[in-house]
Amino acid sequence: MTKEIRKWADEAMYTAEPLSSAFGEPVRPHVTLVSMTDQPLRVMAAASELYQGGVYSDPLNITKEQAIKWLDGFMASKISAPLEFITLHFLIEGVTRAFTHQLVRQRTAVFVQESMRFAVKENAIAEVAYPPSLDGKPDDHAWRVTWDNAVAHVARAYNQLVDSGMPAEDARGLLPTNITTRIHYHTDLRNMVNMAGMRLCSQAQAEWKQVFAEIIHAIISYGPQAERWQQVQIANLFRPICYQTGSCGFNGPADRWCVIRDRVNAHSAAGDPPGTWRDIDPREPLHHAAARRPQ
C-alpha cells in the first residue's frame, strides 16, 4: 500500500509483521514464554505452608522437597488456590483465528491480539494454515487444489480492496477463519491446568495439541538450567481431563465420540487411577482424529 492510500483509508493502518517462513514452509504455531514467576514452585509452596502454620517471606528458604510435596498435594486435592501465585505470559504466533476465538473464552486470563482492523495482512495467501485433513496431501490432490485456489482468490480480492482504499477493518471480512495471527496470553497456573484438561482432550481441535506442545517446550526451556526442575514439574501438569481426574468429563449427549472413552469409563468404574491404565496410550487423545468415529 502507498502512504497515501493507507492514510486515506485510516491513518491507524499498518502492515502486519509477516508470519510465513522465508523458506515457503507452512505457518505453524510457535510459542515464546515472555515471563514467568521466578522460582515458581517455591513461591507457590511459600504461600501453601501457611495452611500448616509455616510462615515464609523468602521463597528461597523453601526446599525442593517442600515445593514438590505441595504440588503433588494439590494434584490430589480440590484445594489448588496457591497455584494462582504462579503466573505465565506467552506470545503465541502462527495460530489461526479459529484457535484464538477459543483461547479468549478463558475468563481468567488477559489477552492482547494482533488487530486485523488495523494490521493489513498483505501476505495472506501464505498465512492461511492448512487443516489436518490436508497434511501430507500432494499439491495436485483435489482437496488441496480446491483449498489453494480459494485462498489465492480471497487473498487477491482482499489486497485489491485495501489497495484501492477500503479500510482493513472492512476488507478483513473476506479473510478465512484459518488466517494466522499472534496473541499475548497472560494467565495463572491453576487456570491453565484446568484449560489443558479441556483442550488436550480428544474433543478439542487439533491445533490445541500443537500449541500445548509448543507451550511445554517454552516452559521447560525457560530460566536458569539449575532451576528448571520446577518448569519440568509444571509442564507435567498439562494432561487431558481424564488423566487429571481419573474419569471422562465428556459423557453428555452433545459430546463427540472418543477413541479412549470406553476404556477410561471402565477404569473409572473399577477405581483404577490413571497411572495404572496400561491399555491406554496417553498420546491417543492427542491425535487429530481421536474424536472421529472410524468409518
Do the domain assignments include residue 196? Answer: yes
264 and 183 housed in the same domain: no
At residue 8, the pLDDT reads 47
One-letter amino acid at 270 equals: A
Do the domain assignments include residue 47? Answer: no
CA distance 225 to 211: 23
Interval 158-176: pLDDT, tens: 999 999 999 999 999 999 9
230 and 271 housed in the same domain: no
Do the domain assignments include residue 69? Answer: no
254 and 234 housed in the same domain: no
Do the domain assignments include residue 1? Answer: yes
285 and 163 housed in the same domain: no
Return the SS3 of 141.
coil
190 and 284 housed in the same domain: no
* Placement of cell 477413541 in the chain: 259
Q: Is the dihedral of CA 205, 238, 86, 194 positive or negative?
A: positive
Backbone angles phi, psi at 170, to 5 degrees: -90, -45
Do the domain assignments include residue 129? Answer: yes
Share of the chain above pLDDT 90, in %: 86
Interval 62-74: pLDDT, tens: 999 999 999 998 8
Contact yes or no for 62/56 (Cβ under 8 A): yes
Contact yes or no for 27/94 (Cβ under 8 A): yes
Interval 9-34: pLDDT, tens: 577 788 899 986 555 678 999 999 99
Do the domain assignments include residue 55? Answer: no
Do the domain assignments include residue 183? Answer: yes
205 and 251 housed in the same domain: no
Do the domain assignments include residue 53? Answer: no
CATH number at residue 160: 3.30.1360.170
CA distance 16 to 121: 6
* 3-13: average pLDDT: 61
Q: Domain span at residue 265?
A: 246-295
104 and 153 housed in the same domain: yes
188 and 228 housed in the same domain: yes
124 and 169 housed in the same domain: yes
Last residue of a domain, one of 204, 222, 238: 238
167 and 21 housed in the same domain: yes
Q: How many domains does the chain have?
A: 2
277 and 174 housed in the same domain: no
30 and 171 housed in the same domain: yes
